[in-house]
Structures are given as C-alpha cells and as structure tokens.
A and B are shown apart, each in its own frame.
Chain A
C-alpha cells in the first residue's frame, strides 16, 4: 500500500525560482493537508482541502498556493521561493468525517539558497 506519496523527496532552489510539490493518496480520503516542519516549531498548517473542490488557508499560507486537482492529488506551489521557505514539507490525508488520524507522506526536504 502506497498511502501518501510526495514528490520530490529533496530539492534545492535559488531565491525567486518557482516550484510545485506533488502529493497523491490512494486511500480514498476526502481531506488533504500541507504542513511545514521547522526545528522547534512543530508542524504548521499551510493549506488544507476538506474535500475535493475546496481549499482553505491554514496558519502560514503566505507565499504558497495550492490546487486540489482531484480527490487523489493536492499540490503546493511556491511562486517565488524565499530562503524563509527552507523547510521540510509534509502532505497528509484523512477522512473528512469521523476521528481517524492523519496519514502522512515521507516529506519533501526543500532548501532555498
């Protein structure tokens, strides 16, 4: 079972470059999430999609855009990368209703020079 798949796993960008992080899940979950993880700050929600066709801002949305392409896929785009966006990015999914935990991908380690 693949679960939540993120691509790429590693990426180095120069300031000002753009990039899209891809996320796909095969568990038929309605809700999908993008987090960033920085040392000493836990996980912070960037954007989430409660169900196909909807997206909402989380705690730290500035500098990012998202697209819920279909039920399986949720992408995160950095239009003009900044060094402050150097982080580890995690995608997660879960059922919209009920109390099941989130399932996380393996993360994308992004460095912006």
Chain B
C-alpha cells in the first residue's frame, strides 16, 4: 500500500512570508496531485505533476516533484490571507488500479 505523509499538519504564517509544505510518499508513483480545500467545502485541483523535476506555478503557489526522493513540495511565496485553506497531496500509480492515496493535509492559516 502506498503511504503518503505531509508536513506540517498545521501551519500559521504571517502575510508576506514564504513557506513550504512537504509531501513524501513511500513507493514509486507516476502522478502526483495537489488540491486545495476551503473550510466546509469541496476539494479543488491545483496542480498535476507527472515527471521528475516537474515544476508548476500559479500565482503565489509553486509545486515541484522529485521522484527519486519521492518528495513533492508546495511553496508559498509572500502569503496572503486568501491562501488560508487545507492543502492535500495525492499520489497514484497506474499499477494501483487507478487508486489515489491522499496525505493527511496541511491546514494553512495566514495571519494579517
């Protein structure tokens, strides 16, 4: 079974600061996803990372993938309050029968 660990679980940061969320997974994967969830809401897709060294950026968020280290990062640049949410990574592989394994999530609070 594929295990996915995220850290930190909780993150409180000031507006304007930078921080990184980490997602480690236990076995080979050929696809990694980042999702955002606002409180009481559904999950929204942010990024899809498919190859070693892949980097995707949108606004103040940048995601990267290192398949050799089995690590993905979600970097937040100059945080703003609107980024407050819970962020999940999810990992899958064609060999797992189209299943996806989610990390525990990182609850981000951006303080003015």
A residues sitting closer than 8 Å to B (CB atoms) are 31, 33, 35, 40-45, 48, 50, 56, 58-59, 90, 92, 96, 99-107
Stretch from B14-22, B39-47, B60-68, B72-80 at the A interface: B39-47
Complex interface: chain A residues within 8 A of B9 (CB): 40
Is the beta-carbon distance between B99 and A99 smaller than 8 angstroms? no
Is the beta-carbon distance between A42 and B42 smaller than 8 angstroms? no
Complex interface: chain B residues within 8 A of A103 (CB): 45
Complex interface: chain A residues within 8 A of B83 (CB): none
Number of interface residues of B (CB under 8 A): 25
Is the beta-carbon distance between B100 and A42 smaller than 8 angstroms? no
Q: What are 29 sample pairs from A and B whose C-beta atoms fall under 8 A apart?
A: A33-B100, A40-B9, A40-B104, A42-B102, A42-B105, A43-B43, A43-B88, A43-B90, A45-B99, A45-B101, A48-B99, A50-B98, A56-B97, A58-B99, A59-B1, A92-B43, A96-B98, A99-B31, A99-B50, A100-B48, A101-B48, A102-B90, A102-B100, A103-B45, A104-B42, A104-B43, A104-B44, A105-B42, A107-B42
Complex interface: chain A residues within 8 A of B97 (CB): 50, 56
Among B33, B48, B98, B104, point to the contact of A42 (Cβ < 8 A): B104
Q: Give Cα distance in the complex from A109 to B112, angstroms.
A: 31
10 tightest CB-CB pairs across the interface, nearest first? A101-B45, A42-B102, A43-B102, A42-B104, A104-B43, A104-B42, A106-B42, A50-B98, A99-B31, A101-B33
> Nearest Cβ in chain B — how far from A1, in angstroms?
14
> Nearest Cβ in chain B — how far from A44, in angstroms?
7
User: From B92, which residue of chain A is reached at the shortest CB distance?
Assistant: A99
Is the beta-carbon distance between B42 and A31 smaller than 8 angstroms? no
